[in-house]
Structure 1
Amino acid sequence: METVYDTAKLNQMILQTKAQQKADWDAIVAEIDEIKDNLRPINLIKNTVEEINESVGFKGSLAQSAISIGIGYLAKKFVIGKSDSKIKNIFGSLLQLVVTNLVSKKQETSHE
């Protein structure tokens, strides 16, 4: 670092340092937001399915459908679990349907 004797130059360097600190902080916040988004259950499921498809290389639509249905069922069990509540069961079924559709659409677009 250089020795600064001029007040104006020192103030300019302080402003530059503060700007760099803000840019670094914004980058950290953006990275944390991305990590939180990746840790959401639906994204964990989708990422897992993508990795399975890439490593195994499923080509048959029957296998893809079975995986989509299985992932949807696991999502329902993971989020809802065992419940006697009709509302929770309905929500779980809707969640299963949504996850199954999301997974199957993702598989269709990744193979085209």
Structure 2
Amino acid sequence: METYTIDTLNQRIRLLENRQDREWCAIKEEIDEIRDNLKPLNLIRNTVEEINETVGFKSNLAQSAVSIVIGYLAKKIVVGKSDSKIKNIFGTLLQFAVTNIVSKPHESSKE
């Protein structure tokens, strides 16, 4: 049976507290990354990137086409069929915005 001095025990406690702090920081970083990946825009971008990789889209033209389709779908989902000019204008602006946002490279793909 080992005998520990108070100093030795205090040192071990500090080491364990430091380890706990490091592990909590790692957990918080992982949670932040998961939260970032679950944002709708990042879900769309990740889906586009997976489609591009799966189908083998390498050209900017093909990637732009996928972005345009996603923008069009966003417009149809939000606005649907409407005779209102204001809704149609809003839908077109939404389509343009989604297309531009999706076509931009994702931060994690730059790394």
1:59-74 alignment runs, 5 A limit = 59=59, 61=61, 63-74=62-73
For residue 105 of structure 1, report the CA deviation from its aligned partner: 3.5
CA distance in 2, matches of 1:102, 1:14: 49
Please name the residue that 1:43 is paired with. Answer: 42
Q: Please tell me the residue identity of whatever aligns with 1:16.
A: L
For residue 72 of structure 1, report the CA deviation from its aligned partner: 1.6
- 1:52-110 deviation per Cα after TM superposition (whole angstroms, max 9, x unaligned): 0111112472x4333111112334556x466x8958x73x5444322211333439xx8
Q: How high is the TM-score relative to the length of structure 1?
A: 0.70
What are structure 1's unaligned runs of at least 5 residues? none
- Matched positions, count: 102
Q: Please tell me the residue identity of whatever aligns with 2:7.
A: A
For residue 4 of structure 1, report the CA deviation from its aligned partner: 4.3
Please name the residue that 1:6 is paired with. Answer: 5
Q: Please tell me the residue identity of whatever aligns with 1:24.
A: E
What are structure 2's unaligned runs of at least 5 residues? none
SS of the aligned residue for 1:5 comes to: coil
CA contact (8 A) 1:72 1:100 kept: yes
CA contact (8 A) 1:72 1:97 kept: yes
Q: Please tell me the residue identity of whatever aligns with 1:36.
A: R
Q: How high is the TM-score relative to the length of structure 2?
A: 0.71
CA contact (8 A) 1:72 1:95 kept: yes
User: Alignment identity in percent?
Assistant: 56
